[in-house]
A and B are shown apart, each in its own frame.
Chain A
Amino acid sequence: MSEKEPLFSPKNRKLIFNPLSKDNPITVQVLGICSALAVTVKMKPAFVMALSVMVVLASANVIVSLLRNTIPNRIRIIVQLVIIALLVILVDQVLKAYVYDVSKQLSVFVGLIITNCIIMGRLEAFALGNKPWPSFLDGIGNAAGYGLILMIVAFFRELFGSGSIFGFQIIPDVWYIKNGGFYENNGLMVLSPMALITVGIIIWVHRSKNRDLIEKK
């Protein structure tokens, strides 16, 4: 370990890019499903949620990694929780100050980032045993993987459920039945079961593209 490792060595790059596909927190590790169902009705809240999780996860990873040699093993969970809670409260306050309407739509789910399994999972599995810089990259990568799935799910749910993308109407108004057309928004897309099914379809497609993800019998 005499020579200094470059910041973006292949190993570190893997930390960012693996969670996007082969080690995705939602579709492969099946973590953080609850919030993926709750905040993906529209793309804007989903995007803000993904950003918030990224901030919290990256900072929490760095802080825990810095403290990893001082945290007593037996009370490490509660220490981690305090750190996450602090960060979540900060994020919540920032959202309330600058994007109040989105913050209202996300309601309790910002607060519930504390219980998001991805964050605890990464702290336990990675930050406790690694240096700050790799931990930071790991946090960014996992949050990006989480956000990617969130955005894909939200894209389909908003497009078919509300006929818009990021709040812009995509499906022309004259298509709707109430305006004499033939089209109707799909009410099931707005309900959370359809988010679960959408995630399921993503997993299905993902696995048939990456055969090595399928468990051996």
Chain B
Amino acid sequence: MKFIRKQLDKMKPSFEKGGKLSSFHSMFDAIETLFFVPKKTAQSGIHVHDSKDSKRLMIIVVLAMVPALLFGMWNTGYQHFLSINETADFWTMFWYGFLKVLPIIIVSYGVGLGLEIVFAQLRGHDVKEGFFVSGMLIPLIVPVNAPLWMVAVATAFAVVIGVEAFGGAGMNILNPALTARAFLFFAYPSHMSGDAVWIAEKADAFSGATPLAEAAAGNSLPSALDMFYGFIPGSIGETSTLAILIGAAILIYTGVGSWKIMLSVALGGLAMGYIFNAFAANQFMEIPAHYHLLMGGFAFGAIFMATDPVSAAQTNKGKWIYGFLIGFIAVLIRVLNPAYPEGMMLAILLLNVFAPLIDHYVVQGNIKRRLKRVKVKA
């Protein structure tokens, strides 16, 4: 650590105002604060100081995703060897998946951070840390067979249209990673859905459909336990509910993610699931409500996407409404519109748009209630 500090101090003067590399100071700043807590303090006004700055918050979120990532790597190998009917030991499977997943992560970070830095230089602001999380989320929500250039295009779209067009990280209406996913889903549907994309180098005879697709087609599903542990085909990070729950525990323990949103998403999904069970007009409606929480991206979306503090609702009551509607609509889209198997993505994006409206009415309602109290006394 001392060595890094020394090197940074040596370089610092040339990046400061007047130095010969001063136009790249935001890049230097980003790297410096990555290693060390910045020394800058607020200059004026009342402020509450906390050791958690946003870079550290983001790193906790990335850490929380590590279980899902590691499991996803292993599962990539597991599904591959299962489909070609070979047995392999744990490390062979993991290594196979690691080599498949790593390029996607590199592309996502490379393109995203590259564009972020370009925009930071152009607009003269600091490199924001928002992309730390998005860059990790994007690889976790794409199928392992997604061509790398598509991931690159989608990441560029998410950063430029989803974030920078609105004024940079923190100003975006939509979750950037989901923007990338939605872009991929609509632009290259044959590579983002169907049953050929989820397993790397799959044998042709092996059905690689996700449980969601199987359910929509009325086929039999894997057992609930298999889906909970995640031994199923799917996007890289979304299959294992268990690994995602470990991430959720980290987020809740550190106070980074809102448990209210996570819980209410699950409740919303269950509620809609039970409503469908009550009607039970077709096979998809009949599957047990809790299956919806285990299938597809529901758990992943609830824990890592819906809780994104920038695009989620801010008020406490608003969080309950926002989360509940996400779960509710996700299951609704899944069951009633089989053309869009991943209802979770669409539901979160929709509620992202509505989050400010929900907050507005919660705040207005609060004001009205308290005004009434004043009037009664007077």
A184 adjacent to B186 (CB under 8 Å): no
Measured between beta carbons, the chain B residues less than 8 angstroms from A188 are: 183, 186-187
Chain A residues within an 8 Å CB radius of B187? 186-189
Task: List residues of chain B with CB within 8 A of the CB of A201.
Answer: 161
Contact of A191 among B153, B186, B190 (CB under 8 A): B186
Any A CB within 8 A of the CB of B149: yes
Q: Does A8 contact B (CB under 8 A)?
A: no
The range of chain B's interface size is 10 to 19
Say whether B128 faces chain A, with CB atoms less than 8 Å apart. Answer: no
With A and B bound together, what is the CA distance between A191 and B186 in angstroms?
9
Q: Say whether chain A's binding surface is mostly helix, strand, loop, or mixed.
A: helix
In the complex, A197→B166 CA distance in Å?
13
What secondary structure prevails in chain B residues at the interface with A?
helix
A182–B147 alpha-carbon span in the complex (Å): 8
Assess A187 versus B165: contact at CB under 8 Å? Given A182-B147, A182-B149.
Answer: no
Q: How large is the interface on A (under 10, 10 to 19, 20 to 34, 35 or more residues)?
A: 10 to 19
A137 to chain B, nearest CB (A): 35
Find chain B residues with CB under 8 A from A191 CB. 186
* A184–B150 CB distance below 8 A: yes
How far does the Cβ of B340 sit from chain A's closest Cβ, in whole Å?
14
Residues facing A in B177-191 (CB within 8 A) are: 183, 186-191
Give Cα A187 to B190, complex, Å.
Answer: 10
- Chain B, residues 225-248, CB within 8 Å of chain A (1/0): the string is 000000000000000000000000
Given contacts A182-B147, A182-B149, A184-B150, contact A197 B186 (CB under 8 A): no
A129 touches B (CB below 8 Å): no
For residue B160, which residue of chain A has the nearest CB? Answer: A201
How far is it, in angstroms, between the C-alpha of A204 and the C-alpha of B188 when the chains are bound? 26
Report the bound CA distance from A114 to B354 in whole Å.
35
- A200 on interface, CB distance cutoff 8 Å: yes
- CA gap between A188 and B180 in the complex, in Å: 12
Interface residues of B in 142-178 (CB under 8 A from A): 147, 149-150, 153, 161, 165
Cα A200 to Cα B165 in complex, Å, equals: 9
Across the interface, do B165 and A184 meet the contact criterion of CB distance under 8 Å?
A: no
* Docked pose: A205 CA to B190 CA in angstroms: 32
The CA-CA distance from A150 to B189 in the complex, in Å, is: 27
Q: Which residues of A have CB within 8 Å of B165? A: 200, 204
Contact B186 A187 (CB under 8 A): yes
Q: A192-207, CB under 8 A of B: which get 1 and which 0? A: 0000010011001000
- The residue in B150, B186, B187 that gathers the most chain A C-beta atoms within 10 A of its C-beta is B187
Report A-chain residues with C-beta under 8 Å of the C-beta of B190: 184
- Output the least CB separation between B154 and chain A (Å): 10
CB distance from B252 to the nearest CB of A (A): 36
Residue in A closest to B182 when the chains form the complex, CB atoms = A188
With the chains together, A204 CA to B165 CA distance in Å? Answer: 8
Q: Which residues of A contact B153 (CB under 8 A)?
A: 186
Among B147, B186, B189, chain A packs the most CB atoms within 10 A around the CB of B186
Q: How far is the CB of A215 from chain B (nearest CB, A)?
A: 15
CA distance A173 to B191 in the complex (A): 19
16 contacts between A and B (CB under 8 A): A182-B147, A182-B149, A184-B147, A184-B150, A184-B188, A184-B190, A184-B191, A186-B187, A186-B188, A187-B186, A187-B187, A187-B188, A188-B183, A189-B187, A200-B161, A200-B165
**What 5 pairs between A and B have smallest CB-CB spacing?**
A188-B187, A188-B186, A186-B187, A187-B187, A184-B188
